[in-house]
Amino acid sequence: MPKEEMRWNLDDVLPIKKFDLLYRETEEKLKEYEFFYANISPEMPEQGFKALIDFDEKMSEKLNRLMDMPLLMEAADQKSAEAKLLKSRAENLTIKRANIARKLGLWIQGKPVENIKTLDDRNAERLFNAVLDLRYVLRHARESAKYTLNEREERIATEKDVTGISVVLNLRELIETEFKYRFKPKGKKERIIDIEADVLKYAYSKNPAEREAASVALLSKFKENLDKFFMMYQAVVKDWHYSAEMRGFKSAIAIRNHANHVPDEAVEALLAVCRENRDVYQKYFRFKAKELGMKKLRRCDLYAPLNIAKREEIPYNKGVKIVLDTYDNFAKGFGEKARVIISRKHIDSHPRLNKRGGAFCSTVAPAIAPYVMLNYTNRFRDVSTLAHELGHGIHSLYANRHSISSHHANLPLSETASTLGEMIVFEKLLEMAKNDRERKAMLADKMADSYATIMRQAYFVEFEILAHNEIMKGITSEQLSDIYLSTLKEQFGDSVSLGPLYRYEWSRIPHIFETPFYCYAYNFGELLSLALFARYKKEGSSFVPRVEKVLAYGGSENPDKVLKEIGVDMSSRKFWQGSFEIVKEWQKRLEKF
Ligand SMILES: [Zn+2]
């Protein structure tokens, strides 16, 4: 065990020996829903409604404690039989509660519920005003209901999905897992590889022939099966389209935007600004070609490693100190809140056997300081991750006066503190770096990461918008691949040469099948935080209280409204352009070294 290692203490969630007691108490309390249901009506007094909602929120907290304690236990030790047992018990109770509370949800949405008079709009407003903190959440739930069908139709739709689109998606996975990839670097013997991940890792190889062989092995498999993937994608698109039409959405992407609490215009502005700024990554790719000693980068070289500098190690305690000092400098509240998480022992810091990989921040309830899991290995990247996850925790603590359902920020704002925090710590690390070679390596990594989260994702969505339109009109698989190729050409310009197989790449993007239009979620939060960071750099410390105000809202207000209060308009291109000014500056510095 590294001497700096910190393990979390889950007693603030629920001491393990109290699990049974809370379980029984919660199960008993579930019966009280019936008491409340007996008194529900649109004309009910505000006080009665408030009491009902308070009760429901308290039940959520109890269930979160029961559920999250074993989940966190399991993350720290994936082999823990005790965690698995407690988790499965908590799951049973969660399902039981969901079944009992479903009535309440439907009634709030204005849906017909047996033996209870339907809640009309006027009374809904009256009652929602009695629980101001949850008003936005309740209104959004009610608004979403406008897009749902009646109970019988919803049931038919769900059941048809089970034998329809779900089968298509399962088939896609099945076909893909059965692929055997023919990996043949130039001058070497062919090798058959069974697992996709084992092919993909060659995209990061130092050997250019291996990188090329990996892309050929992968994409030629999809080309061979193109007709199948095309048939499945057509089914996904049509299914999505019919559903959008039936539910009254004005476009295919609008379904996703509504679920994400984002106005259509904001997504349009975001995508347009991404398109306009594609040249910054083209410059990066030209720079990368030069670094690799190539005339022009091939598409398969995008993730080739740059051998610029050997990086200094940053031990955990030093990493924590850097982050805390930087946060103190940025805003008193940031430093204080990060310290709460650390001093309450809510961090699990180092990798070890059976511990889950990656990093996350988990909030159980507003009353409990968040928990952060890391797999810290002294790399410079680990300090960024520490800053990022602590940022999520800080956000959660800024918003802890809210109720459990209005506490967590919705998509457009959920990455605000984390990405912002990561950014200010990144600048600090740049400043601290020993020499320019180190700085160059850090910036090159940053550009590569930001390409993958920002531009690549934006163009997936661009492709989907075009594909959904054209498929509804009727096209062939080759025509669809032409459309994909056109988005690649636009994205890369002449900075990257595309092999003949890349036009088929669309067929291996799982998101466009499984969760259409989801990919902008990756860049929306990132770009929004970059834009706020740009404003911070321009306006200095006077901008900090505005950021804190946004964070304190949690998920209790419409994100668009929250941002407008601090003078930010998500639908304005000028705002999004701010994000790219930061990226452009990175690239400029990179070229100067
Ligand atoms: Zn995050």
Indicate whether 311 pLDDT > 90.
no
Kindly state the average pLDDT of the residues 110-135. Answer: 95
CA of 393 to the centre of ligand 1 (A): 10
Close Cβ partners of 227 (under 8 Å, ≥ 6 residues apart) = 477
CA of 469 to the centre of ligand 1 (A): 32
Block residue for tokens 């950021």? 547
Q: What spacing in Å lies between the alpha carbon of 555 and ligand 1's midpoint?
A: 16
Predicted confidence (pLDDT) at residue 1 exceeds the cutoff of 70: no
User: Distance, CA 414 to ligand 1 centroid (Å)?
Assistant: 7
Query: What separation in Å is there between the alpha carbon of 360 and the centre of ligand 1?
Result: 8
197, burial (CB in 10 Å: exposed 0-12, middle 13-18, buried 19+): exposed
- Give 79 Cα–ligand 1 centroid separation in angstroms: 26
What values do phi and psi take at 371, rounded to 5?
-110, 140
pLDDT tens sequence across 157-199: 888 888 899 899 989 988 998 999 999 999 999 999 998 889 9
Tens of pLDDT, residue by residue over 313-331, are 899 999 999 999 999 999 9
3-state secondary structure of 181: strand
Residue 2 has pLDDT above 70, yes or no: no
Residue 243 CA, ligand 1 centroid: distance in Å? 31
- Measure 156 CA to ligand 1 centroid, in angstroms: 37
**How does DSSP assign 31-68, residue by residue?**
THHHHHHTT--TT--HHHHHHHHHHHHHHHHHHHHHHH
- 586: pLDDT strictly greater than 80: yes
Q: From the CA of 151, how far away is ligand 1's center (Å)?
A: 36
| Cα 396 to middle of ligand 1, angstroms | 12
Tell me the CA–centroid distance for residue 295 and ligand 1, in Å: 37
What backbone phi and psi angles, to 5 degrees, belong to 434? Answer: -65, -40
Adjacent-strand bridge partners of 85 = none
Q: How would you class 435 by CB atoms within 10 Å of its CB: exposed for 0-12, middle for 13-18, buried for 19 or more?
A: exposed
Q: What is the reported pLDDT for 295?
A: 95
Burial 333-346 (b: 16+ CB within 10 A, else e): bbbebbeebbebbb
* pLDDT value, residue 324: 98
Average pLDDT (22-37) is: 96
Q: How far is the CA of 238 from the centre of ligand 1 (A)?
A: 32
- How wide is the angle at C-alpha 261 spanned by C-alphas 257 and 266, nearest 5°? 60
* Residue-level pLDDT at 202: 93
Q: Which tens digits make up the pLDDT trace of 456-481?
A: 999 999 999 999 999 999 999 999 99
Higher pLDDT, 144 or 28: 28
The fold of the 250-311+433-593 domain, in CATH, is Neurolysin; domain 3 (1.10.1370)
Average pLDDT over residues 367-372: 98
State how beta strands 360-362 and 371-373 pair.
Answer: antiparallel
Interval between CA 419 and ligand 1 midpoint (Å): 7
Q: Quote the ligand 1 centre to 390 CA distance (angstroms).
A: 10
Q: What percent of the chain has pLDDT over 90?
A: 80
How many C-beta atoms lie closer than 10 Å to residue 239's C-beta? 16
The Å distance, Cα 416 to ligand 1 centre, comes to 9
Mean per-residue pLDDT of the chain = 93
Q: What is the whole-number distance in angstroms between the Cα of residue 347 and the centre of ligand 1?
A: 16
User: What is the pLDDT, as a whole number, of residue 288?
Assistant: 95
| Residue 292, both tokens | 């690799």
**Ligand 1 mean position to 314 CA, how many Å?**
22
Residue 65 Cα, ligand 1 centroid: separation in angstroms? 22
418 C-alpha to ligand 1 centroid (Å): 6
**String of DSSP letters for 102-168:** HHHHHHHTT--BTTBPPPPHHHHHHHHTTSHHHHHHHHHHHHHHTTS--HHHHHHHHHHHHHTHHHH
Question: 452 C-alpha to center of ligand 1: Å?
Answer: 15
- Give the model confidence (pLDDT) of 499-553 as tens digits: 999 999 999 999 999 999 988 888 888 899 898 899 998 999 999 999 999 999 9
Position 481 scores a pLDDT of 98
How does pLDDT run across 211-247, given as a tens digit for each residue?
999 999 999 999 999 999 999 999 999 999 999 999 9
Give pLDDT tens digits for 67-105. 999 999 999 999 999 999 999 999 999 989 988 998 899
Cα(590) to ligand 1 centroid in Å equals 26
How many angstroms does the Cα of residue 568 sit away from the middle of ligand 1? 21
Distance 388 CA to ligand 1 centre (A): 6
Tell me the CA–centroid distance for residue 549 and ligand 1, in Å: 19
Give me ligand 1 centre to Cα 522, in Å: 10
Least confident of 27-31, 189-193, 237-241, 409-413: 409-413
Q: How far apart are CA 135 and CA 133, in angstroms?
A: 6
The CA-based diameter of the chain, rounded to the nearest angstrom, is 80
Distances 249 to 258, 314, 356, 524 between C-alpha atoms, Å: 9, 50, 40, 21
pTM of the model: 0.89
In terms of Cα–Cα distance, which of 39, 43, 40 is closest to 122?
43
Structure confidence by residue, pLDDT tens digits, 414-439: 889 999 999 999 999 999 998 898 89
Report the separation in Å between the CA atom of 235 and the middle of ligand 1, taken as the mean of its atom positions: 32
Per CATH, is 10-146 categorized as 2.30.170? no
Angle between helices 573-592 and 436-450 (to 10 degrees): 140
CA of 392 from ligand 1 middle (Å) equals 7
Distance of CA 45 from the midpoint of ligand 1 (Å): 41
Q: Residue range 248-255: average pLDDT?
A: 92
Domain with CATH 1.20.140 in the chain: 10-146
How far, in Å, is the centroid of ligand 1 from the Cα of 220? Answer: 34
Using the mean position of ligand 1's atoms as its centre, give its distance from the Cα of residue 415 in Å.
Answer: 5
Give the closest residue to 311 by CA, choosing from 430, 447, 449, 453: 430
Banded model confidence at residue 390, pLDDT cuts 50, 70, 90: very high
Q: Ligand 1 centre and the CA of 541: distance in Å? A: 24
Reported as half-sphere exposure (CB side, CA atoms, 13 A), residue 124 has a value of 22
Which residue in 525, 526, 539 sits closest to 567, CA to CA?
Answer: 539
Q: What single letter denotes the amino acid at residue 559?
A: P
CA of 359 to the centre of ligand 1 (A): 9
Is-contact 309 374, C-beta < 8 A?
no
Task: Indicate whether 258 pLDDT > 80.
Answer: yes
